[in-house]
A and B are shown apart, each in its own frame.
Chain A
Amino acid sequence: MTDPLKQYLDLYRAEHSRIAAGSCPAMNAHRDAALRQLEAHGLPTRRTEEYKYTAVRDALAPDYGLNIARLPLAADPHKLYHCSLPNIGARTCYIINDTVGPVPTAGSEDAIRVVPFAKADEEMRGFIGKYYHSTVQSYDALASLNTLLAQEGLLVLIPKGHRAVQPLQLVCFADAKADLMANRRLLVVAEEGAEATLLICEHASSSAHYLTTQVTELVLGERARVELCSVEETGSNCTRFHNIYADLAAGAALKLNSVTLTCGHSRQTTEVRLAAPEASVEANGAVTAAAEEHADHNILVRHDAGDCRSTLRYKYVLDGNATGAFAGKVYVAPGAQRSHSEQTNANLCVSPTAHAFSQPMLEIYADDVKCNHGSTVGKLDETALFYMRQRGIPEAEARLLLQHAFVNDVLRHIQPESLRQRLSLLVEKRFRGELRRCDGCRMYGGTATNAPTPPEP
């Protein structure tokens, strides 16, 4: 078998001028380095520790098309698409495949800037260049592939001291007639003392196979507070790699919520650097996977300075032949005293053929720290099930209530309350089998073909 990476590198070598032409200088500046890294290190194999449970080579093997020529969007996504998820009065932006849709103007009281990279590069000379790719500390093949091929990006800038009143929702949607690769890039800069809530919704149509890579970079200045909630609701025709990188200055607080309702083959790599004292990160992950779904979370939190805090809570409910993988590592650098870290991963295997892989890790080079980690893999509580059935709750409903309660234990940490309630409802619908992909989305109207075409050889 030829190296699946080859087709992407060949494509870049052949098309690099067209790729560069459709992009901004700040992005182009990093492509050659990404190419050299990919040439040197290649794709991870199943023997690569960080990718033990996600077969990257198989995922990248099919022949996907790319929108290198930057064909514009056929229609206004605001008119086509309605995401029913938030109900939180959010300001909504769209990324269709890898094209940033029209950005709605903010209310007069909202100073958050949401600007495509190209425009930002013109208006704020040097700004994108200053932050773009600045948080990516170590080699990751998917991040490098994204850096090599991504042509558009979106900047979210929360200016110094600004407290956003309205959450910002970013709807990422894959929709094409033929199999497609989309490479998305998001840069969030929260300046000193800024506060904002962001919601990323990941959806896809069922008309083709999709491979999406996304790199989300978060740069939090001193005492900035950002809550980023990422919700995945895709299908078996989707392979998704999402890399999140975050750098936190002193006193900054980041909350990363990740909810996988449905997916195909999904991998999220998260690296958070607590670079200065009193920074804190809270990562909450909830996965509900069934059938052949695959959800893999790999998270690294670096306590590079003392007096920082990290909390990791991940819960998976796995049914059918689903696979859930979790690897969490908390690294405490030499001298990062008084670090405080808690890490838990709990898995509920509802069916005997579901698989859970759990690997919580601590790597500590300081002596005055308080760090703990724990992991469980279990089945539904038979005693509780019987208790509920004795009271007249049908077995299927009892199982549902237990699974829902298990996931709600993570969801309860999500804000705002209206979003938490909505997510809880969607999780319930998911367990009831009532969740249609992109519930309420007009784009799906009458095109509910759940039989995706096989990938091109």
Chain B
Amino acid sequence: MLEIRNLCAEVEGKPILRGIDLTIRDGEVHVLMGPNGSGKSTLCHVLVGNPKYAVTGGSATFNGKDLLALPPEHRSYEGLFMSFQTPTEIPGVSMTNFLRAAVNARRKYRGEEPLGASEFLQLLREKRKLVGLDAHFMSRGVNEGFSGGERKRNEIFQMAVLAPTFSILDETDSGLDVDALRTVAEGFNALRTPRTSAMVVTHYQRMLDYLRPDFVHVLMEGRIVRSGDASLGYAIEERGFDWIRDEAATAQPEPQP
């Protein structure tokens, strides 16, 4: 589904990603872990085409298409979705209008007619239940006055409405209490199919418990320095990152001046 080769990117002239290689196949869930500033969020944003990040090398192919050549909205139509670490507040644009625009733009891209009013509302009703988001949020501005937990629920709700084939969850679990985390994770799991994949950035074991990922990767200084199964995630929870950093340093010594 997704093939990333030697991907390099920078933010405001500062290199962050220094050659990412990653392959994600249909149905797989990959977890990204790593210390703060290692490039996890940058990788997420680069994949969905945030114009603040500049790709300086490498490639990303999504279902055979050159992902990096597509504008953000087309990446969305192709099936990419990102749950933002800090979902943006858009005062005055109601959730309903926002989602109607998103849903219908997607349908137009696929050559389908816009969704009728009652079908659309039915869709919202159905998906709201999944994450326990109350109806009154639909008439509010996007994330306007939402609590941290409500914003994260709202991200998963939007994911449910847009039904992506590849989801990126950038620390969707952070700032959630245990109940909210369960709701969000169960919501995510309910949307999984053998044909959908995900890349999940997390710092917490609890998320690993819920998601049961196929792979765990550790990012450091813009590179994947170690990959493994879920047990790698549990090892990090127990031992921290230093042992991986030490091993990585031994395996790939820095060039001496």
Taking beta carbons and an 8 Å cutoff, which residues of A are in contact with B?
381-384, 386-395, 397-398, 401-402, 404-406, 408-409
A-B contact pairs, 7 of them (CB 8 A): A381-B88, A390-B72, A392-B103, A393-B102, A395-B73, A404-B92, A409-B92
Residues of B near A395 (CB, < 8 A) are 71, 73
Given contacts A391-B98, A393-B101, A394-B73, contact A405 B88 (CB under 8 A): no
Q: B132 at interface (Cβ–Cβ under 8 A)?
A: no
Given contacts A391-B158, A393-B101, contact A386 B72 (CB under 8 A): yes
A116–chain B nearest beta-carbon distance, Å: 42
Q: Is there contact, CB below 8 Å, between B162 and A392? A: yes
Q: B15 at interface (Cβ–Cβ under 8 A)?
A: no
Residues of B near A388 (CB, < 8 A) are 90, 98, 101-102
A388 to B97, CA, bound (A): 11
Q: B215 at interface (Cβ–Cβ under 8 A)?
A: no
What total of chain B residues lie within 8 Å of the partner, measured CB to CB? 34
Q: Mark B156-172, 1 if CB is under 8 A from A, else 0.
A: 00100010000000000
Given contacts A391-B162, A402-B90, A405-B93, contact A386 B73 (CB under 8 A): no
Q: B58 at interface (Cβ–Cβ under 8 A)?
A: no
Tell me which residues from 59 to 111 in chain B have a Cβ below 8 Å from any Cβ of chain A: 71-73, 75-77, 81-82, 84, 87-93, 97-99, 101-103, 105-106, 109
Taking beta carbons and an 8 Å cutoff, which residues of B are in contact with A?
48-52, 71-73, 75-77, 81-82, 84, 87-93, 97-99, 101-103, 105-106, 109, 141-142, 158, 162
- Which of A394, A402, A404 is in CB contact (< 8 Å) with B105? A394
A384 to B102, CA, bound (A): 14
Q: Is there contact, CB below 8 Å, between A401 and B98? A: yes
Given A388-B101, A390-B73, list of 12 further CB < 8 A pairs?
A381-B88, A381-B90, A386-B72, A387-B90, A389-B49, A391-B162, A394-B73, A397-B101, A401-B97, A401-B101, A409-B91, A409-B92
Residues of B near A393 (CB, < 8 A) are 73, 98, 101-102, 105
Residues of A near B101 (CB, < 8 A) are 388, 393, 397-398, 401
| B100 to chain A: closest residue by CB | A393
A116 to B77, CA, bound (A): 61
B198–chain A nearest beta-carbon distance, Å: 16
Residues of B near A394 (CB, < 8 A) are 73, 105
Residues of A near B88 (CB, < 8 A) are 381, 383-384, 387
- Which of B72, B81, B89, B141 is in CB contact (< 8 Å) with A389? B72
B140–chain A nearest beta-carbon distance, Å: 12
* Closest A-B pairs by Cβ, 5 of them: A405-B92, A392-B76, A389-B72, A387-B88, A391-B102
A45 to B71, CA, bound (A): 49
| A383 to chain B: closest residue by CB | B88
- Which of A381, A382, A387, A405 is in CB contact (< 8 Å) with B84? A387
A402 to B89, CA, bound (A): 11
| B106 to chain A: closest residue by CB | A392
A409 to B142, CA, bound (A): 14
Residue of B50, B106, B109 with most partner-chain A CB within 10 A? B50
A397 to B106, CA, bound (A): 13
Residues of A near B71 (CB, < 8 A) are 389, 395
A116 to B79, CA, bound (A): 65
A234–chain B nearest beta-carbon distance, Å: 27
Residues of B near A398 (CB, < 8 A) are 101
A405 to B48, CA, bound (A): 25
Residue of A384, A391, A408 with most partner-chain B CB within 10 A? A391
Q: Is there contact, CB below 8 Å, between A408 and B92? A: yes
Given contacts A393-B101, A393-B102, A406-B92, contact A387 B87 (CB under 8 A): yes
Residues of A near B97 (CB, < 8 A) are 401
A251 to B75, CA, bound (A): 58
Q: Is there contact, CB below 8 Å, between B92 and A392? A: no
A381 to B89, CA, bound (A): 10
Residue of B51, B81, B92, B158 with most partner-chain A CB within 10 A? B92
